[in-house]
Each structure stands twice: as structure tokens, then as C-alpha cells.
Amino acid sequence: MYDVIILGSGPAGLTAAIYCGRANKNTLVLGGTSLGGQTAEIALLENYPGWHGTGFDLIEFMKQQAESFGAKIEMVPATHIENESDGTFTVIAGNDKKYQTRTIILATGASPRKLEIAGARELLGRGVSYCATCDGFFFTGKTVLIIGGGNSALNDALYLADIAKVVKIIYRKSEFTRAEAILRERVSERKNIECVFNTELKEISPKPDSETGELVATTTNGEQIVCDGVFVAIGHEANTDYLTEDIRRDEMGRIAPDSLPRGMFVAGDVHSNIKMQVATAVGTGCGAAMDAVAYLNANAQ
């Protein structure tokens, strides 16, 4: 029986693990399929106070810190949670093991929203990608498209501009209204980044007779854009498939904290009504851990 099981190994989950470990609570982190989630994919993290480096390095540091306080980390996802009659929980994991705990912190984050147009699913991994830092290397010296207009899209464009020959940002609006000013300025200064506004794609297909695997991206007005790769950055959806329907979610699938049973807490990008940033993930991870520790202490047997 664990005191706390934390689902997720991003900044929120690892922060919670640090706090719970320091409070001398028997703590297990079920970290999912990849350590750090989206944060680990950030090539340069420069808006988290006190850090200027890769997101992966920050996650590794936080992981070591959590383990130094006794937290145990297993890289398996949760598939289901059962509420027991005595007020405890059983977490069923992807390795078919069952873990019992007195409290749970949900910190499973969010995943990139999929591009639902013809060809996008079929060409995933064959020119279509949702991770610029993972796959950018394969497009060295080539032409790539970025789909989206928020911070993630512009950060991806800036990262790929150092790798690809040409980067074209395809955005359905007339300007980047959701992206930070500093990112808009940096994009405008890069000579190999082209912004294509008021444009949406309806199909991605292989270019006929191409010997290099080129793609054709067809817009809704019929224009065809030839490229080597398409990177998608159109928002995120919360990772909550393991939860029952009685837990209320918002339109992004994020969890409403007041719908959780006693002993269950939420932190990070899966928490509704917070900004999706590393700093807010850390803050909510801290808060969820302190609430879980207070709950355990108040209900100590």
C-alpha cells in the first residue's frame, strides 16, 4: 500500500513526487510511456525561472531529485482507477500490475491534437510528425510545413529553421494572435521562415513519381504546396482516457478538480482552467502534493 501514487512524470508529477518524498510519504510515480512528456521534447527552455537548457535535462534533474527523497518511479501508464470501499484506490497499469494507494495525484498532462484531414494519419511517420525536436533531423536542408499559430508552432518553426532549408508556417487566421510577442519577432527575423496566413489544409498526399518522398499539401482553396515534411502544432488534448465518466472534464478533456473523489488530486496540464506552462505545472504539482500530504496526515490511522 502506497501513501501516494502520482500518475505522470512531467514537471507536475515530479514536483509532486519531490514534495511527497520530502514529507516522508511512501510515493510511487507511474510515469507513462515517456519520461517528462512534452517538456522533455523542448529544445531550449528559456521561460522557466532559473533554467536555460533543454527540457529533457530539466526533467532528468527533477527525476533525480525526486528519487533522492525516496520516490519510486516506474515507466508504465495507468489504464484504470478503482475506488475501493475503504476510501483507498487501486491503480491498474499497462503492465497488468495493480497498485494500491491511499491518495492519487493525476498529472498525466496532454498530448498534441491530431490533424484530422485526409492523409494525415496514413502518412504519420512518413513525412507527418507531431514532434519537431524528435524528427527535425530527418529534414536537414529540406522544405517543411508547420501547421498552427500558437507558441508551440512558432517554437517549432524556430527550431526547424536551424535545420531545414525552408520553413513555411500555415495558419488559418490572418495573424498570430495567440503567440507571444517575442516569438513573433524572432519568426519575422528569420529569412528562411515564411508565414502563410488565412490558409487551411484539406489533404496531404505523396507527390506522384517523387524519388525523395516529397509530399503535396492541398489547401481548402485548391492550392498545392510541395514539401518534404509536415509538422503539426494545433493544440493539445488532455490524457484522461483512464478515468471514469463521472469525473467532469472541459472541452479539452482537462479535469475539473471539484469533481474528484476524496483523496484524489490533480496537477499540471490535465488541470482545467490553468495556463499550460512548465511554471504552472510545477506550481500545481506543489499544491496537489501539499494537499495530499495534509489529507494523509488528517486521516492517519
Model pLDDT for residues 243-296, shown as the tens digit of each residue: 988 899 988 889 999 999 999 999 999 998 788 899 999 999 999 999 999 999
Q: Where among 232, 247, 279 does a domain terminate? A: 232
Contact criterion met (CB below 8 Å) for 164 and 143: yes
Residue 240 covered by a domain: yes
Share of the chain above pLDDT 90, in %: 87
User: How many CA atoms lie less than 13 Å away from 92 in the CB half-sphere?
Assistant: 10
Residues 100 and 172 in one domain: no
Contacts of 30 (CB under 8 A, 6+ apart): 5, 6, 7, 8, 74, 76, 77, 78, 91, 93, 99
When pLDDT is averaged across residues 158-166 and rounded to a whole number, the result is 97
Residue 256 covered by a domain: yes
Q: Where among 202, 232, 262 does a domain terminate? A: 232
Residue 170 covered by a domain: yes
* Total structural domains within the chain: 2
Residue 78 covered by a domain: yes
Residues 101 and 197 in one domain: no
Task: Note the pLDDT tens digit of each residue in 190-219.
Answer: 999 999 999 999 999 999 988 889 999 999
Q: Is pLDDT above 90 for 41? A: no
Contact criterion met (CB below 8 Å) for 118 and 129: no
| Of the candidate ranges 2-16, 156-170, 247-261, the one whose mean pLDDT is the lowest | 247-261
* CATH code: domain of residue 61: 3.50.50.60
Report how far apart, in Å, the C-alpha atoms of 109 and of each of 4, 38, 149, 202, 223 are. Answer: 18, 8, 21, 29, 36
Residues 141 and 59 in one domain: no
Residues 224 and 240 in one domain: no
At residue 44 the predicted structure's pLDDT band, cuts being 50, 70 and 90, is: confident
Residues 37 and 50 in one domain: yes
Residue 48 covered by a domain: yes
Q: Is pLDDT above 90 for 300? A: no
Residues 8 and 97 in one domain: yes
* pLDDT mean across residues, the chain: 94
Q: Can you give the pTM of this predicted structure?
A: 0.85
> For residue 80, what are the domain limits?
2-111+236-298
Element (H, E) at 298: helix 278-298
In this prediction, residue 301 carries a pLDDT of: 63
> Which active-site residues does the annotation give?
131, 134-135
Contact criterion met (CB below 8 Å) for 243 and 123: no
Residue with cell 515530479: 14
